[in-house]
Amino acid sequence: MSEKLIGAAIFGQSGGPTAVINASAYGVIRAALDAEEITKVYGAANGIKGVLEDRLYVMDEEDPEELKLLLHTPSSALGSCRYKIADPEKDDTDYKRILEIFKKYNIRYFFYNGGNDSMDTCNKVSRYMESVGYDCRVMGVPKTIDNDLYGTDHCPGFGSAAKYIATSCMEINKDARVYDNGMITIVEIMGRHAGWLAASAALATEFGSGPDLIYLPETDFDMDRFLADVQRVYDANGKVFVAVSEGIHYADGRFVSEAKTSATDGFGHAQLGGLAALLASIVKERTGAKVRGIELSLLQRCGAHLASATDIEEARSAGEEAVRQAVSGVSGMMIAFQRETVDGAYRCKLQLLPLSEVANYEKKIPLEWINAQHNGLNHAFIDYVLPLIQGEPKLPLVQSLPHYARLKKVLAK
Amino acid sequence: MSEKLIGAAIFGQSGGPTAVINASAYGVIRAALDAEEITKVYGAANGIKGVLEDRLYVMDEEDPEELKLLLHTPSSALGSCRYKIADPEKDDTDYKRILEIFKKYNIRYFFYNGGNDSMDTCNKVSRYMESVGYDCRVMGVPKTIDNDLYGTDHCPGFGSAAKYIATSCMEINKDARVYDNGMITIVEIMGRHAGWLAASAALATEFGSGPDLIYLPETDFDMDRFLADVQRVYDANGKVFVAVSEGIHYADGRFVSEAKTSATDGFGHAQLGGLAALLASIVKERTGAKVRGIELSLLQRCGAHLASATDIEEARSAGEEAVRQAVSGVSGMMIAFQRETVDGAYRCKLQLLPLSEVANYEKKIPLEWINAQHNGLNHAFIDYVLPLIQGEPKLPLVQSLPHYARLKKVLAK
């Protein structure tokens, strides 16, 4: 146990929202409010941007019962950002400003909740504070529906998105098969470089009502083979249900959706979308069948009403553990999950992973979990994902509609 | 009480699927199996098409526990159709065939579950059987997420779709507001001529997280006014959430989405869709903001996991009541709902409505429930819809995923 570090804490949320990112927020904020070493708890408005712009909410001012509602409130309650921070060695303007804010509020604890890019930000802040000798403990809390963070068995947010996708695909499949004429349904699922989310549609098939074909970015997409696959199922059944990852790409690396888009997000990623409609028009032209393209869009990442209780609890505990570790002297680490099997049952163990190892790597689905035809998943994937979607949370409702946290968001001065 | 009529029954499902149409199926099938006057219960494969093609499933062969799962299985378990039957006075080919099948299986009870077009089919079958003196009781069971059936306070399927739409809009709204840059979100909701479904998005706003603007087919759409509305909210908040009914149209009757589509469904309705993308591109061009179009697509009508317990129970009881009334001598009627307020609480009373009155009329939202600017709903609409979404059913789950009915579907010979 290292020396006690007394001071205030900042918690920030970054990157795309999830159904459970606020469960991690609750874990961090509640534990930080309860930690005697932490004198005050600030929530950064829009992640690191709120730090740079001195927009910090005083979490000590919030009603504890309202904070608890964060466990079931989707999306980033404090606001998020997609801000690409420079390398401190190349341009330290932002870091000088962050240090200034840290000194202004006597910040000694910094908790940052996000995916790959956010862990990179977190790592850079950690390195900079160390380099200038400012005593501050920096911890990363993982989050991404994409499930692509390196070094952790899985990521908070993924299990709930997977459950939403599996349930929705089961329902869509029921709907798309009611008429006795031909019908081809193409569902587009998020996932830029890793196919974890689209792969989760395999759960629907496993439980009796899901896609016939699934295409992932882990393998190269071949339009002719795809069309042959669809035609084969169509000829056999008269109905085809296809799930595709938004990030499917040709062998030369071009996204299949590329022709349709041009804009980029803050990190220089191509803005994808419209793939379902594009594939639907190609398939319709080729087969003459009735074809429907469906994009799960934002719904899949903010579907808190279908959240996995396992995911909520793991997200909360990751936040709590980050505070516990920081207070005990740890810094520069991300909380990671290790899967254990105890008496045949899934258990999730928390670990520490150096931020420098996790930042900017992307974890993809092992190729041996993908079938030989590259149009579906093997059972190893089902075994992997099934424990992550378990459990139905008891959602707070008002008039049978979700009851979300409404924070006061009192700005620090 | 009229004379006892002994014979077999056919139940059929028609038109678009809903989250609770199988709850009505359960109501009819269970009550028919239990009725001593009914000797055998057949389920028509794909509605009236299954009758014409002699594809009838023997419901007596089904496992009672599996049948019960129909209460929570979305979409039409027996298959549906969009088959436009001729006027019997003009072309009685189909009716002669139906009579032949009725005689073959000694059908004395015909229950048909569907919307406007299906009630028209039901009415025509009823008239024909009467005209040829074939003793048969014909009953309509209402169903439509569109909620546009005449003479009934509301329709089974609508409450669950409304709940799905309201919940999803609450979640989308949370997601679409996380960044501190401008964002305009346009959600397209089903509803060809009546705006009940899109209007239900107002529930999300009422409970704190929903659309700023809602456009319905009950009023003429004016693109310039729409763009001015969006710009005004955008200038004030930097975020805009718009819900539009797929059926919004200009003053001359042209659908706003019309330029994008050409195909038609079996009844000659234009196939709508792609409106969200179209409006998003127009708004993007005008405002320069980041704009996202989202189509709720099939998800909104098959979202059984978010079904209203009230809706499920009403759907079931409508089916059951149709059998009870038919057995007691009633024919040519649809079960309708009358709203009552007992001690301040909502109650739904079942009524009989002549099929001839309900067929082919469309019930729209009263204009006085729409605001003066034609871009939102008044509180009278909230009061109307709120009781219909109440109650969370206890869903049968396997591994935290829906457990649907799997019928044996033994074909009658």
Task: Answer for the pair A38, A32: CB distance below 8 angstroms, yes or no.
Answer: yes
**E strand spans, A66-170:** 107-114, 137-142
Is A1 in the B-facing interface, judged by CB distances under 8 Å?
no
Q: Is A84 on the interface with B (CB under 8 A)?
A: no
Each residue of A154-204: pLDDT tens digit? 999 999 999 999 999 999 999 999 999 999 999 999 998 999 999 999 999
Q: What is the pLDDT of residues B319-341, one digit of tens each?
A: 999 999 999 999 999 999 999 99
Q: In the predicted model, what is the mean pLDDT of residues B369-382?
A: 98
- Judging contacts by C-beta atoms under 8 Å, the chain A residues touching residue B295 are 294-295
The confidence score (pLDDT) of residue A33 equals 98
pLDDT of residue A153: 97
B211 CB neighbours in chain A (<8 A) are none
Contact (Cβ atoms closer than 8 angstroms) between residue A204 and residue A169: yes
Q: Is A25's Cβ below 8 Å from some Cβ in B?
A: no
Calculate mean pLDDT across residues B374-403: 97
Put simply, the chain B residues between 296 and 335 with a CB less than 8 A from any chain A CB are: 297-299, 301-306, 308
> What are the φ/ψ torsions at residue A127 (nearest 5 degrees)?
-60, -45
> What's the pLDDT score for residue A142?
96
Q: Residue B273 has what pLDDT? A: 44
B239 token code pair? 């975020």
Whether A402 sits inside 8 A of B176 (CB atoms) is no
Measured between beta carbons, which residues in chain B are less than 8 angstroms from residue A308?
A: 400
DSSP string, A340-379: EEETTEEEEEEEEEEHHHHTT------GGGB-TTSSSB-H
Whether B208 contacts chain A with CB within 8 A: yes
Provide the pLDDT for residue A3. 81
ipTM field: 0.95
A344 CB-near residues (< 8 Å, 6+ apart): none
Which band of pLDDT confidence, cut at 50, 70 and 90, is reported for residue B259?
low
The answer to whether A256 and A279 are in contact (CB under 8 A) is yes
Q: What is the rounded distance in angstroms from the CA atom of residue B18 to the CA atom of residue B74?
A: 6
Confirm whether A224 is a catalytic residue: no
Q: Which two tokens stand for residue A267?
A: 């990190």
CA separation for the pair B154, B20 (Å, rounded): 14
Residue from B339, B385, B359 nearest B160 by CA: B385
Q: Do A179 and B397 lie within an 8 Å CB cutoff?
A: no
Pick the closest to residue B310 from B290, B337, B328 (CA basis): B337
**Segments of chain A with pLDDT less than 70:** 1-2, 259-273
Contact criterion met (CB < 8 Å) for A404 and B209: yes
Kindly state the tokens that stand for B178: 């996380």
Give the mean pLDDT of chain B. 94
Active site residues of B: 146
**CB within 8 Å: A171 and B402:** yes
Residue B338 β-bridge partners:
B349
Q: Test B404 with A208 for CB contact under 8 angstroms.
A: yes
Phi, psi (degrees; rounded to nearest 5) at B342: -115, 120
Strands of A45-195, DSSP E = 56-58, 107-114, 137-142, 183-189
- Rounded-to-integer distance, Cα A105 and Cα A100, Å: 9
Residue B43: pLDDT over 70: yes
Pairing of strands B38-44, B56-58: antiparallel
- Asked if B177 and A75 touch (Cβ cutoff 8 Å), the reply is yes
Q: Is the pLDDT of residue B33 over 50?
A: yes
Nearest to A178 among B79, B294, B398 (CB): B79
**The two structure tokens encoding residue B32:** 């028919």
| Cβ contacts of B208 on chain A, cutoff 8 Å | 404, 406
Say which of B167, B177, B401 has its CB closest to residue A207.
B401
Give the A window 114-153 contacts with B, CB below 8 Å.
none
Contact B400 A170 (CB under 8 A): no
- Specify the residue for token string 């904020």: A29
- Phi-psi domain of A161 (left: phi exceeds 0; alpha: psi -120 through 50; beta: other): alpha
